[in-house]
A and B are shown apart, each in its own frame.
Chain A
Amino acid sequence: MSSAAPDASAQTLPAANLRRARPKPAGGADVSSGGPDDWLWRWVTFSPALLMMLLLSVLPLVNLFLTSFYNVTWTGGQPTWTPVGVDNYNELVHDELLRAGLFNTLVFAIFAVGGQMLFGFVLALLCCRVTRGRILYRTIFILPILVPGIVVGAIWKLLLNFDFGLVNQLIGLIGFEPMNWLGAKATALASVIFVDVWHWTPFCFLLFLAGLESLPQDVYEAGKIDGATIWQELRYITLPMMLPTIMVTFAFRLVTAFKVFDEVYLLTGGGPGTSTEVLSFTLYQRFFRQDRTGYGASMSMFIIFLVCILLVMALSARKRVSAPA
């Protein structure tokens, strides 16, 4: 009796009260009350995880941050660290490549993520009520995200090749002139965005499909009884209920889009000119190709800062849409 009663009460109490409702062990200290033994035990068990986290994520960031205030050169096989204050950060402001990269990354993120969300949602809507051949169509739709980035690059580099590409051969059949999809300023970024949409739409599709399939059916049934049209069903039932899923997917894809690298590296190399220059590619050039460790570190910090801002914005937007009216 004495052991069953608290459990029963715990089920009915809000989570915040659970701690208070737990029993005290007979003749012993209260393990949940924060006594000295409990405090020690918590830290003993928690510290390995904390230490691991510090080592793996905080320490590299701190190291990166500190490096951003130095210039690193090599002489006699040994590095020389020269403090330069905030010079590296000042240089960021004047870096034209970075400016082009930032602009293109924003354009890329908006259109690529927008396209993926739109196509992913439409596909999920079309497929959520299909019952026959579910495994087959899902397998087909998710194929692009299973393809490694390097293979995606190879596939589309071949398809979009000016002289020998299948796309130009196909449009040639209907009388169009071949286009330099990846090499012309007007089409290069759009082509990279298209490839990214092709690559990542299935990811959005899967999340949206899972979200749609978990929506309560009684709301739809009520809507039908009230005579709601398909459009009204979408507008007043599906979209509002899907909003948290949409926001999470959007936040995740937005952050990932800001980190785009492989498609640009493989398809266009940032060109022509700076038409497809993106932040990660600029960083790659400054940090790795040009071996500018200190400046590269400051650029890394800037990009991390941007991604953090985006994440905070996306999460607060999600909170707003999830909050009860």
Chain B
Amino acid sequence: MRESSITGRVTRSGISRRRVLAGAGAAAIGALGNVRFAAAAKVAPITIVINQSPWFESFRKTVELYEKETGNKVELDVNPFAGSLEKQRNSVRAAKGQYDLLIMNGGWFAEMYFGGFVEAISDIDPSFKLDPDVYTLGDTVFFDPVKKVMTPQGKLMSVPIGPLIPLLYYRGDLYKEAGLKAPETFAELEANARKLHKPPGRYGIVQRGARGPATVSFDFYPYLYGNGGGIFKNQAAADYTVTLNNEAGRTALEYYLRLAKEVGHPQTASLDQADVIQNMLTGKAAHISAVIAAWSPMDDPDKSAVVDKVEFAPTPHAAGLTTASGLGHWLGGIARNIPDDRKRGAVEFLRWFQTKDAQIASAKLGGIPVNAAAYRDPISQERKFRWMKPLADSLPHAVNVYQFPEASEVIAILELGLNQAVAGNTAAAPALNSMADQIHGVMAKYGYATGKLPPL
């Protein structure tokens, strides 16, 4: 008897119920004279360009499952973060693209939409419908190419691959000992971090303060948006007035710096994502904020000194507001410059990938589901998947930080300015003023409707 990889249900003949149903369905449709289902089941091989991230292994295994279930072939081209972007640029700008499905990060998918490099899935296959339970992640899967805005009224451009946002990781065992409850507000987080701060053996919180492609800025977004702040006034309405240096921004940065200085790691300014996760895994951090993709090693006895001791919560927020982390998600878009059969092959993969069954299977393999139905499934109650509820609570509030293609220039400004503030080279207010000035300059240079606030 063989086990279906997705449902785990088996038939006596050794064929999974899913396949029996699929076969019966195909036969029925075929009998009605519609042969499209059979044709769609077998499609041209496709190549997916993807980055080597903590969640990659789960994606690879999910792709293997797809191949096994459908008989279709998928090749993965795996690269470092920046390398993946370069390869995607090179491929989509050529006359004929090498890659069919582009796994695009929150920092660069806008470049692909605005540049016309990604073809709308609904244009390739008008019958394709996004599963209503799939998170649209700040509507970033849609794009109106005429109005140049991301809106559900636009076309479906991509399907979410990884709904990555940061969650608060905290030491449940220490909380239990100290009689603490999971922090919801910034004040509670700070109080708890102070209680658990026992340097040098353990730090109250370990933050990701290094300068990188999207390092300290990504760590700072939950503090900024959780305080009601933001970088721009209203991107959806094309108002790019820079509001980073308003009172909410100052409160957020001063809080972030205070945590780093008083209850944080002494070298916060040089810590990147790997360092932060390492500090949690080795028991040196009481709290970290990290993308949820890092949950898997926490309970791995070969990698972790805190197995079953780490709990998860939405990132805290100011009293009266809601959690609001920045999206660091991944979207799958189909390249414009590839043959039609490969486009259809990519559509079939996405059609399969977005289903509840595929997403539950992905979660079991270590992935982060993009379909809300997976979060309602009984597996979310299992101890191993204790991160699912806080993630499901957080996702609807996640913020799409950038809705324009020149985001990398703004991110570079934030990375340098925030890093210098964390390193103690500048205070919060001058750092915010300087960053706001530079961001305003970038937006003005590219002709966006922008403005700036008086300096703090």
Q: Which residues from chain A sit less than 8 Å from chain B, CB to CB?
A: 74-79, 97, 162-164, 180, 182-185, 188, 268-274, 285, 288-292
Do residues A273 and B111 form an inter-chain contact, with CB atoms below 8 A? no
Is the beta-carbon distance between A185 and B336 smaller than 8 angstroms? no
* Neighbouring A residues of B115 by C-beta, 8 Å: 74-75, 77
Contact B267 A291 (CB under 8 A): no
Interface residues of B in 413-456 (CB under 8 A from A): 416, 419-420, 423, 425
User: What's the minimum C-beta distance from A137 to chain B, rounded to whole angstroms?
Assistant: 37
Instruction: Indicate if B211 sits at the interface (CB-CB under 8 A).
Output: yes
Query: In this complex, what residue of B is CB-closest to A74?
Result: B115
> Which chain A residues lie closer than 8 Å to B278 at the CB level?
163-164
A180 to B271 alpha-carbon distance, docked (Å):
10
- Beyond A77-B115, A269-B212, whether A290 also contacts B266 by CB under 8 A is no
Q: Which residues of A contact B425 (CB under 8 A)?
A: 185, 273
B258 at the interface (CB under 8 A from A): no
Q: Is the CB of A273 within 8 A of B211?
A: yes
B152 within 8 A of A: no
Interfacial chain B residues near A272, Cβ < 8 Å: 210-211, 269-270, 419-420, 423
Known A269-B210, A270-B211: A290·B409 in contact at CB below 8 Å? yes
The interface of chain B, by Cβ under 8 A from chain A, is 82, 85-86, 89, 92-93, 111, 114-117, 210-213, 266-267, 269-272, 275, 278-279, 282, 284, 336-337, 406, 408-409, 412, 416, 419-420, 423, 425
Leading 6 A-B pairs by shortest Cβ distance: A183-B270, A74-B115, A271-B211, A76-B116, A180-B267, A77-B116
A271 with B269: CB separation less than 8 A: yes
Min distance, Cβ B95 to any Cβ of chain A, angstroms: 10
**Distance of A164 Cα from B269 Cα, bound (Å):** 17
B279 touching A271, Cβ below 8 Å: no
* A184, chain B: closest CB distance, angstroms: 7
Cross-chain contact A183 with B271 (CB below 8 angstroms): yes
A291 touches B111 (CB 8 A): yes
Besides A77-B117, A162-B270, A269-B212, 6 other A-B contacts (C-beta < 8 A): A77-B336, A162-B267, A163-B275, A183-B269, A273-B420, A289-B85
Judge whether B412 and A290 touch: CB under 8 Å. Answer: yes
Given A162-B270, A273-B423, A77-B211 contact (CB < 8 Å)? no
Give B277 Cβ to nearest chain A Cβ, in Å: 12
Cβ contact within 8 Å between A288 and B86: yes
Residues in A with CB closer than 8 Å to B210 are: 183, 269, 271-272
- The CA-CA distance from A270 to B215 in the complex, in Å, is 13
Q: Tell me which residues across on chain B come within 8 A of A74, comparing CB atoms.
A: 93, 114-117
State how many angstroms separate the Cβ of A81 from the closest Cβ of chain B.
13
Closest CB of chain A to B414's CB: distance in Å? 13
Collect the chain A residues with CB atoms within 8 Å of residue B269's CB.
183, 271-273
Contact (Cβ within 8 A) B211 A288: no
Q: State the Cβ distance, A24 to closest chain B Cβ, in Å.
A: 57
> Could you name 10 residue pairs across A and B whose Cβ atoms are closer than 8 Å?
A74-B115, A184-B267, A269-B211, A269-B212, A269-B272, A271-B210, A271-B419, A272-B423, A273-B425, A289-B85
**Inter-subunit contact A288/B419 (CB<8 Å):** no
Verify B116–A273 contact, CB threshold 8 A. Answer: no
For residue A121, give the distance in angstroms from its CB to the closest CB of chain B.
Answer: 34
Residues of the A chain whose Cβ atoms lie less than 8 Å from the Cβ of B409: 290, 292
Query: Which of the residues A77, A78, A271, A289 comes within 8 Å of B270, measured between beta carbons?
Result: A271
Residues of A within 8 A of B284 (CB): 163
Partner of A289, one of B114, B213, B337, B416: B213
Rounded to whole Å, the gap between the CB of A170 and the closest CB of chain B is 17
Nearest residue in B to A271 (C-beta to C-beta)? B211
Chain B, residue nearest A290 (CB): B408
Question: Which chain A residue lies CB-closest to B268?
Answer: A183
* CB of B426 to closest CB in A, whole Å: 9
List chain A residues, Cβ under 8 A from B270: 162, 180, 182-184, 188, 268, 271-272
B409: min CB distance to chain A, Å: 5
Query: Which residues on B sit within 8 Å (CB–CB) of A269?
Result: 210-212, 272
Which A residues are CB-close (under 8 A) to B336? 77
In angstroms, how far is the closest chain B Cβ from the Cβ of A284?
9
A272 to B86, CA, bound (A): 25
Minimal beta-carbon separation of B120 from chain A (angstroms): 13
A273 touches B419 (CB 8 A): yes
Which of chain B's residues has its CB closest to A162's CB? B267
Chain A residue with the shortest CB-CB distance to B441: A94
Complex Cα spacing A63 to B305, Å: 55
With A74-B115, A180-B266, A273-B425 as known contacts, state yes or no: A289 contacts B419, CB within 8 Å: no
Indicate if the CB atoms of A78 and B211 lie closer than 8 Å.
no
Q: Which residues of chain A are near B89, meaning CB under 8 Å?
A: 291
The residue on B at minimum CB distance from A178 is: B200
A285 interface neighbour in B93, B275, B412, Cβ under 8 Å: B412
How far apart are B104's CB and chain A's nearest CB, in angstroms?
Answer: 14
Residues of B within 8 A of A274 (CB): 416, 420
Give chain B nearest CB distance to A272 CB in angstroms. 5
B423 near A288: Cβ-Cβ < 8 Å: no
Q: Which residues of A contact B82 (CB under 8 A)?
A: 288-289
- Cα distance, A79 to B412, chains bound together (Å): 24
- CB atoms of A163 and B279 under 8 A apart: yes
Shortest Cβ gap from A231 to chain B (Å): 45
A97 touches B416 (CB 8 A): yes
Q: Which A residues lie within 8 Å of B271 (CB)?
A: 183
A1 to B409, CA, bound (A): 78
What residues on A are CB-neighbors of B212 within 8 Å?
A: 269, 271
In the complex, which residues of chain A have a beta carbon less than 8 angstroms from the beta carbon of B116?
A: 74-78
**A262-B193 Cα distance, complex, nearest whole Å:** 37
**Chain A residues within 8 Å of B267, by CB:** 162, 180, 183-184
Interface-centre pick from B86, B266, B269, B406 (highest chain A CB count, 10 A) = B269
